[in-house]
Structure 1
């Protein structure tokens, strides 16, 4: 099959957090000035894509999240998530299935004879995205039953849950482990202190001091501490780290177990705990009995951590198909969203393929004051590659709407979206000049809903919204049908004249111009 006329060069602009919602109220995308996006969406073939629930391999009706969305984009099919598999295992087989895991048994065998403790670090949340409080409670109970001292470091959510709902979740968790006589709460803190990828150095240092050295104002009643923080206007993700009254820090012969569900969770925090000397926090480090994670962590941190379960993987990906088809590709992203394209969309494949190059720009600190993030730098690289003319496809990720949307700051999110639109204008101008194709593709919903309809407070979680797919350029006689994120890879491969791998169950969205359109207004 030959390439379709005008497809090369093809620029795929991935728009994180760019969901479609008809209502303007609390909709940062609708409220932003986006003349370039509006023009392209009005004049070029367009479609809506399902980007949540079963369309991306998660439970029906479940809101989207980056890991599942990008895996679906990269695989051209919904991909079963490790988090879903763990939840199903515990539901179907109970705690015994986890208790029998060889890595967990080895950890207990190393710690117990030395009288050490196991420190569980995990998110107290029912979200099941970055963690789940049930997994944390099950592990605390199992290890306590083995006669091992268990210290739980509770990380509060506030992004995939309502901003100040953590007090109820923590109370539920403490009730769940009340019968585990060897388990106790060691500390409480928000996910912004080392669990998320954009943690600032000062916040990470504060978290390390509390977990490693029990250095910080102590709290005897953790739920009361959360309530005090709420009264000061702090949400769950920004709860300052605080040790409990009986906690004494991480000591020699102790072990760490991160109760994570994604390979990019708590990388900064685990790196600092495993090697505080390299992190600049200490001159010496205690000799730990072991360091484990529930789900395998990204390298290089993951190289020093034994995983109970592998992270989500798959083959026959979009990038692999491009390489095998002899097409050259440039992939552009920024540090705060790097895992999306470097890990999740690649099925965990860590090495560059033939004809592939990946560039990662630095996300600025304090993103609410810099809502444009690294979009200008990414756009400059896109323009340079277009002028060089040596790439068949350029993929650029604009994470602005998602990252700023997660802050709950409407003004900053609107500014972030407008910054992306200006970048799209520069890219579109070059595409129009050179006769190529520009594809705009939302990846998951977020910024189109910024206010909680029930409480009236900020809504920081992702959504179940569809996302846009716009095909702009020199293509003639084409229209699009609605579909899902799984259809994006087969569509792009068709545009580039390549056959989709048989493992891809998605279908090309391309249709003849005379065919009836199912595109919603």
Structure 2
């Protein structure tokens, strides 16, 4: 059995538009060489093909979940939207209990989350529904803590979304805006404790700075050159902080960037904490999950473990949860035979300052482990194209793409020279579309573009590689997608000679390209 490596080039999408396309405009000799030597195609990585709503851009959580489970999993956004539409949202026990708890203790309810129409981590419509729920509960002591986006949306969008929130507050007579902060602080996931501490202090104490209105806080931030993502945590007016015996509803449905601040909040004495989805905390009478996901089984990691095969899951900190928790279908603990390696991400404010991130260290760690242990399967994530792409700085993202290409070359050489097989794909697009073609503005968001799949299997090598130039590279981006991310699990299972479980609905792509 040949060892098989799945390399995920995070944020590396395909687009025929060359303007603002960091993937196309950057020389990628190693990627191009693989493209010339092995069969390739493209995969759908957004919308209904990955369990999202039609036209919804993909993201890392969704992408890795589909890649690792081998099925199209209905995602949290449409699931919660459906509950609002069919009114079950308004009788959800965990949410209603938050108001009951505050009533019993004569305390307050705090609504915390990303105030965004981006739909990647949260959605403003869910916040509006919570205010409606408070009205139905005849509860007015509601305080809203606004986390601003600017990363999965345009850099300055909060002032467009804010009127919807204020109209709902006026209509219902429920809610006061108590604080505002950029996601840089309130949604850090890279153990930058100083950022999380700033956010926590504004949520829970009378720390400064303070602004009379949220509009003033936002406009002051813009005047200082800070867009939505980077708004300094700011208290708004003379409003309440989160205290003992209060209730908090954290309405982010994507967990990876909600965990770090939540770890602090749940330690407030006697606080009732309800999260929309599981953030990995042990449930208690006061720590609840409003929308529990169905337990995923027969995902790739479980199939490999059941067959007593070895597997390695490796990434740098920024994407470690994605190659473990999300790739494994929401399972926290490793399976038998599963080894995990995390390489620390660099400690910089934004990754345009270090576009290479920790790709060299990650590649070296992988090669060392691979040559020593020859795991049957490896999943590895290169974070650069996505994380640097989110800065919106094209030149830095080109450097990130070049670094990934360099490391991919080293990885491919190590795997193929050892007689192994290599699959190269991505979880979603980003770096290939860094300019909004309608407005000409910087585009930091994910995209709805397809992603590549390179099938670098030993017997499929082209013995006379063609030379790849810009025309052939661009032509590869025009390939009509023939599959979805879920097909990758089926391809791995069949390549390793295992039986494909019925619940794994993906197709073996090696049979069609």
Q: Same fold (TM over 0.5)?
A: yes
Whether contact under 8 Å (1:329, 1:356) holds in the other structure is yes
Alpha-carbon shift at residue 199 of structure 1 (Å): 6.5
Q: 1:174 aligns with which of 141, 166, 188?
A: 166
C-alpha distance in structure 2 between counterparts of 1:191 and 1:259, whole Å = 14
Change (3 A) 1:389 1:189: closer
C-alpha distance in structure 1 between counterparts of 2:140 and 2:263, whole Å = 24
Q: What secondary structure, in the 3-state scheme, does the structure 2 residue paired with 1:346 have?
A: coil
Whether contact under 8 Å (2:179, 2:233) holds in the other structure is yes
1:465 aligns with 2:455: no
Alpha-carbon shift at residue 340 of structure 1 (Å): 1.2
Q: In the alignment, which residue of structure 1 is the partner of 2:352?
A: 368
Change (3 A) 1:393 1:209: same
Deviations 1:396-450 (A, max 9, x none): 1111111111111222211111111111111122223222212211211010011
C-alpha distance in structure 1 between counterparts of 2:294 and 2:427, whole Å = 18
Q: 1:243 aligns with which of 235, 243, 246?
A: 235
Q: In the alignment, which residue of structure 2 is the partner of 1:418?
A: 402
C-alpha distance in structure 1 between counterparts of 2:388 and 2:285, whole Å = 31
Change (3 A) 1:435 1:252: closer
1:126 aligns with 2:108: no
1:259-270 matches, within 5 Å, as 259-270=251-262
Alpha-carbon shift at residue 477 of structure 1 (Å): 7.8
Instruction: Output the aligned Cα RMSD.
Output: 2.3
Q: What secondary structure, in the 3-state scheme, does the structure 1 residue paired with 2:276 have?
A: strand
1:139 aligns with 2:121: no
Q: In the alignment, which residue of structure 1 is the partner of 2:466?
A: none
1:454 aligns with 2:448: no
1:397 aligns with 2:381: yes
C-alpha distance in structure 1 between counterparts of 2:229 and 2:191, whole Å = 11
Alpha-carbon shift at residue 128 of structure 1 (Å): 2.3
Q: What secondary structure, in the 3-state scheme, does the structure 2 residue paired with 1:164 have?
A: coil
Alpha-carbon shift at residue 249 of structure 1 (Å): 2.0
C-alpha distance in structure 2 between counterparts of 1:403 and 1:386, whole Å = 26
1:281-360 matches, within 5 Å, as 287-299=269-281, 305-311=287-293, 313-360=295-342
Change (3 A) 1:405 1:239: same
Q: 1:214 aligns with which of 206, 213, 216?
A: 206
C-alpha distance in structure 2 between counterparts of 1:250 and 1:351, whole Å = 32
C-alpha distance in structure 2 between counterparts of 1:461 and 1:196, whole Å = 17
Deviations 1:348-398 (A, max 9, x none): 122222221111111112132222222222212221233224311121111
Moved more, 201-210 or 401-410: 201-210
1:442-521 matches, within 5 Å, as 442-476=426-460, 482-511=482-511
Change (3 A) 1:243 1:19: same
C-alpha distance in structure 2 between counterparts of 1:11 and 1:62, whole Å = 29
Q: 1:53 aligns with which of 47, 57, 78?
A: 47
Structure 1 unmatched runs, 5+ = 276-284
C-alpha distance in structure 2 between counterparts of 1:71 and 1:452, whole Å = 28
1:35 aligns with 2:35: no
Whether contact under 8 Å (1:405, 1:450) holds in the other structure is yes
Q: What secondary structure, in the 3-state scheme, does the structure 2 residue paired with 1:14 have?
A: strand
C-alpha distance in structure 1 between counterparts of 2:439 and 2:395, whole Å = 19
Q: In the alignment, which residue of structure 2 is the partner of 1:278?
A: none
Q: What secondary structure, in the 3-state scheme, does the structure 2 residue paired with 1:173 have?
A: helix
Structure 2 unmatched runs, 5+ = 463-478
Q: In the alignment, which residue of structure 1 is the partner of 2:177?
A: 185
Whether contact under 8 Å (1:46, 1:469) holds in the other structure is yes
C-alpha distance in structure 1 between counterparts of 2:460 and 2:174, whole Å = 69
Deviations 1:300-336 (A, max 9, x none): 7999731111146421111111122232111101221
C-alpha distance in structure 1 between counterparts of 2:174 and 2:80, whole Å = 25
Alpha-carbon shift at residue 212 of structure 1 (Å): 0.8
Whether contact under 8 Å (2:84, 2:129) holds in the other structure is no
Alpha-carbon shift at residue 105 of structure 1 (Å): 3.0
Q: What secondary structure, in the 3-state scheme, does the structure 2 residue paired with 1:192 have?
A: helix
Q: 1:117 aligns with which of 82, 91, 108?
A: 108
Number of residue-to-residue matches in the alignment: 494
Q: What secondary structure, in the 3-state scheme, does the structure 2 residue paired with 1:445 have?
A: coil
Q: 2:78 aligns with which of 73, 84, 107?
A: 84
Deviations 1:240-295 (A, max 9, x none): 111111214223332221111112232222222333xxxxxxxxx5x334111121
Deviations 1:16-69 (A, max 9, x none): 101011222101111222111111112211111111112111112221112221
C-alpha distance in structure 2 between counterparts of 1:251 and 1:433, whole Å = 59
Q: What secondary structure, in the 3-state scheme, does the structure 2 residue paired with 1:187 have?
A: strand
Deviations 1:444-482 (A, max 9, x none): 10100111223322211111111111122422489x983
Give TM-score, length-normalised by structure 2. 0.91
Q: In the alignment, which residue of structure 2 is the partner of 1:282?
A: none
Deviations 1:87-115 (A, max 9, x none): 11112x23xx2232222233222211322
Change (3 A) 1:42 1:250: same
Whether contact under 8 Å (2:98, 2:249) holds in the other structure is no
C-alpha distance in structure 2 between counterparts of 1:217 and 1:110, whole Å = 30
Q: What secondary structure, in the 3-state scheme, does the structure 1 residue paired with 2:10 have?
A: strand
